[in-house]
Chains A and B, each alone.
Chain A
Amino acid sequence: MSILIAVVTLSVIAALFGLLLGYASIKFRVEGDPVVEKIDALLPQTQCGQCSFPGCRPYAEAIASGEAPINLCPPGGETTMLALADLLGVEPVALDDEHDTEPTKTVVVIDEQTCIGCTLCIQACPVDAILGAAKQMHTVIADECTGCNLCIPPCPVDCIHITPVKVEPDTWRWPLPEQNFAAPRA
């Protein structure tokens, strides 16, 4: 008899709680995932695919769903990784050894003498930063170039070169002073 009471009581209470939660889940429904937007905003948008995802947004989605670690973005370097760690409240993860912690920014330049006008690079460019048409010489709009280097492999004549972005006095950055006290003894 007492077993019966126990079972009934538990079932009734469980059912009541279930109803309550069911109601709450309708009332507090959440649509979309706003976190993806926030992650995407931190990524450098080079769309280079070096993270193994086809572009920045897919990578953002993968991070948000916990499928990808936060240290896969070489163009963003340590800065992006730290920003992601900060946003998501996770421990920073070291970048792969092969990538610089602070990558130098680059753009590509097309050697106009060699270009054959094959348009392959135009198709590869994720941000439409290459100007030109079939059989016409192509040019990179330096301001639009994200330095993803996706145009380099398709080029049949190897006429695309990487050049570092020039630092002007106006865009120059003061170096962080060396903290001798924190440095190991020489």
Chain B
Amino acid sequence: MRFKTASSPHTTPVSSVNVIMRKVLMAMIPGTAATAYFFGWGVLINICLACVVAISSETLMLYLRKRPMKPYLSDNSALLTACLLAMALPQLAPWWLTVIAVSSAIILGKHLYGGLGFNPFNPAMVGYVIVIISFPKEMTQWVPPAVAGYSQLGFLETLQVIFAGSIPAGMSWDSITMATPLDTMKTQLGLELSINDIHQHKVYGPMFSSVSGVGWEWINGLFLAGGLWLAYKRIIDWRIPAGLLGMLFLLSNSFALYDYSSFTPPTFQLFSGGIMLAAFFIATDPVTASTTIRGRWIFGAGIGFFIFVIRTWGSYPDGIAFAVLLMNMTAPLLDYYTMPRTFGHHWSEFPGHHKKEPEE
């Protein structure tokens, strides 16, 4: 009798890429639901639009690159990119903004590098950075959270704003959009107000809660819960979020202790903006992160560091996308200089131990 030959091991697979991606998408559900609750229909419309654009871009690129369709379209990675990006875009962003962001993420950020597994930069963040630099005004069209007594648009009205760009009669842009708490905090701090003043402020006060911004603590809390589940299931490595959140906590805590009136407390830093989404869902994208244990600590901590620096002293209210891309750049070097010690070898044989790296 004759048999097929193959290399060992001769076992059934224990996991697969599409299952991993699916679980990550599942873990995003609670946080996404909270976001939709607080910020209205725009969230869901953005997600749907982004998913459609992502799948079409993916199909187009696979076709152009003459690569097999089925395994790649079913690996869920394009959907994940789309969802992450949709969560980062403002709810009333015009449809073309989403299209540009998602298509450049998939085409430029992913497929020009060879598609799944080969992209050095997080595609979602590439798409985000491209639109935030190109269309800064449109990127501020966030809506006020549903709870603080602000009016909310209905489904059809939201569709109208996103696709036709026209505001419902009797409303103005200023009445349906407002800056995020992070943005407001930054602007007001820049005007030499103390944090206490801002919290007491007639106009801006109501958008802040005791933790961070109204609604934002729930969104971040639920993303944190989803992320912890992923970490528990070992879909993501817990070291990256730990490094990121740890570094952010450390820095914000030190500065807040140094001057609590002009530096926001750690709770505000950790529970506003997309921090939990970034820590557990964006930074942990394995393709673009470092893959070694020590590398992952440094990778996470580096993102935390840059987020804090850009939030505190830079011009952009939130620096997540920039921080992630900056650390993506270092990933190949991090991997090389943080190799684990191979069994039976001495530390002195490893890079970074016998010679110093000049710039890192």
Which A residues form the contact surface with B (CB < 8 A)? 174, 177, 180-182, 184-185
Assess whether B137 is interfacial by the CB under 8 Å rule.
no
Alpha-carbon distance between A180 and B72 when the two chains are bound, in angstroms? 12
Render B103-144 as a binary contact track against A, CB cut-off 8 A, 1 for contact: 000000000001000000000000000000000000000000
Task: State which of B63-71, B88-96, B283-291, B329-337 sits at the interface with chain A.
Answer: B63-71
> Is A180's CB under 8 angstroms from B7's CB?
no
Most chain B beta carbons < 10 A, residue from A177, A180, A181, A182: A181
> Is B67's CB under 8 angstroms from A185's CB?
yes
Alpha-carbon distance between A180 and B66 when the two chains are bound, in angstroms? 12
- B62 CB to closest chain A CB (Å) equals 9
Alpha-carbon distance between A174 and B8 when the two chains are bound, in angstroms? 12
Q: Which residues of B contact A174 (CB under 8 A)?
A: 7
Render B71-87 as a binary contact track against A, CB cut-off 8 A, 1 for contact: 11000000000000000
Q: Which residues of A contact B66 (CB under 8 A)?
A: 184-185
> Is A181's CB under 8 angstroms from B7's CB?
no
**Beyond A181-B68, A185-B66, A185-B69, 7 additional pairs, beta carbon < 8 A:** A174-B7, A177-B7, A180-B68, A181-B67, A182-B67, A182-B114, A184-B66
- A134 CB to closest chain B CB (Å) equals 52
- A22 CB to closest chain B CB (Å) equals 31
A-B contact pairs, 7 of them (CB 8 A): A181-B67, A181-B68, A181-B72, A182-B114, A184-B66, A185-B66, A185-B67
- A61 CB to closest chain B CB (Å) equals 32
Shortest 10 CB-CB contacts between residues of A and residues of B: A184-B66, A185-B66, A185-B68, A185-B67, A181-B71, A181-B68, A181-B67, A184-B67, A180-B68, A174-B7
Alpha-carbon distance between A185 and B7 when the two chains are bound, in angstroms? 24
Q: Which residues of B contact A177 (CB under 8 A)?
A: 7
Q: Which residues of B contact A181 (CB under 8 A)?
A: 67-68, 71-72
Q: Which residues of A contact B68 (CB under 8 A)?
A: 180-181, 185
- B76 CB to closest chain A CB (Å) equals 16
Q: Which residues of B contact A182 (CB under 8 A)?
A: 67, 114
Chain A: which residue is nearest B114 at the CB level?
A182
Q: Which residues of A contact B72 (CB under 8 A)?
A: 181
Alpha-carbon distance between A180 and B70 when the two chains are bound, in angstroms? 12
Q: Which residues of A contact B114 (CB under 8 A)?
A: 182
- A76 CB to closest chain B CB (Å) equals 28
Alpha-carbon distance between A153 and B4 when the two chains are bound, in angstroms? 45
Alpha-carbon distance between A182 and B66 when the two chains are bound, in angstroms? 9
Alpha-carbon distance between A34 and B66 when the two chains are bound, in angstroms? 46
Q: Which residues of A contact B71 (CB under 8 A)?
A: 181
Chain A: which residue is nearest B116 at the CB level?
A181
Q: Which residues of B contact A180 (CB under 8 A)?
A: 68
Alpha-carbon distance between A182 and B71 when the two chains are bound, in angstroms? 12
Q: Which residues of B contact A184 (CB under 8 A)?
A: 66-67
Alpha-carbon distance between A61 and B19 when the two chains are bound, in angstroms? 56
Alpha-carbon distance between A182 and B113 when the two chains are bound, in angstroms? 12
Alpha-carbon distance between A165 and B114 when the two chains are bound, in angstroms? 38
Chain B: which residue is nearest A180 at the CB level?
B68
Within 8 A of A (CB), among B34-79: 66-69, 71-72
Most chain A beta carbons < 10 A, residue from B67, B69, B72: B67
Q: Which residues of A contact B69 (CB under 8 A)?
A: 185
Q: Which residues of B contact A185 (CB under 8 A)?
A: 66-69
Chain B: which residue is nearest A177 at the CB level?
B7
Alpha-carbon distance between A185 and B69 when the two chains are bound, in angstroms? 9
Alpha-carbon distance between A185 and B114 when the two chains are bound, in angstroms? 15
Alpha-carbon distance between A132 and B157 when the two chains are bound, in angstroms? 98
Chain B: which residue is nearest A186 at the CB level?
B68
Alpha-carbon distance between A46 and B68 when the two chains are bound, in angstroms? 43
Alpha-carbon distance between A19 and B72 when the two chains are bound, in angstroms? 66
Alpha-carbon distance between A181 and B69 when the two chains are bound, in angstroms? 10
Alpha-carbon distance between A182 and B116 when the two chains are bound, in angstroms? 11
Chain A: which residue is nearest B63 at the CB level?
A185
Alpha-carbon distance between A174 and B66 when the two chains are bound, in angstroms? 28
Q: Which residues of A contact B7 (CB under 8 A)?
A: 174, 177
Chain B: which residue is nearest A174 at the CB level?
B7
- A176 CB to closest chain B CB (Å) equals 11
- B39 CB to closest chain A CB (Å) equals 38
- A178 CB to closest chain B CB (Å) equals 12
